[in-house]
Chains A and B, each alone.
Chain A
Amino acid sequence: DIRMTQSPSSLSASVGDRVTITCRASQNIDTFLNWYQQKPGKAPNLLIYGAATLQSAVPSRFSGSGSGTDFTLTISSLQPEDFATYYCQQSFSTLITFGQGTRLAIK
């Protein structure tokens, strides 16, 4: 299986901050990388697919980049509703795998 490793596992930031979360794949996955946001007690929500394509209705402050093995999710200016856990997920293999998650908390 392709292993996905996110860093950091958690971070604290303030409203208005610029935040970057990284995701590394154990092998080349081209741009077959998706990002999800999950709030407590809720199902995940797709933010970005294909490493950089914003899903419909997702605010433009979210952006994704990367290819091969290294990827980033950037939130340009944190809003109160952005404090959540973020997961990357590879779709290069039919046996999809998720990163362990990055918990974004309010400083």
Chain B
Amino acid sequence: DAGITQSPRHKVTETGTPVTLRCHQTENHRYMYWYRQDPGHGLRLIHYSYGVKDTDKGEVSDGYSVSRSKTEDFLLTLESATSSQTSVYFCATIGTPGRGNTIYFGEGSWLTVV
């Protein structure tokens, strides 16, 4: 257990509204990730971070932005939510690369855009 908490865990929002999901970790892990999971698509990388204020895009970054102002927090923002962004969102971290490269996942955030 890497002490990763996501908030909110469940949210229903309306199309066009901004939404921010928060990932908080207590392990001082350098690398953090946001994935979305949809049936038939597995886990798709949205954005990731390799340090404070250091972020990069993943394969499905359009419509999403991220920020990492502190090691422990990684925020995912949907600037203007669309129905296609209805999904389960997972935050993840890597502890020590090279030592098994274990990725630790949060419990997930279920987002519904209506």
Q: Do A and B come from one complex?
A: no
Q: Which chain A residues have a beta carbon within 8 Å of chain B's beta carbons?
A: none
Q: Which chain B residues have a beta carbon within 8 Å of chain A's beta carbons?
A: none
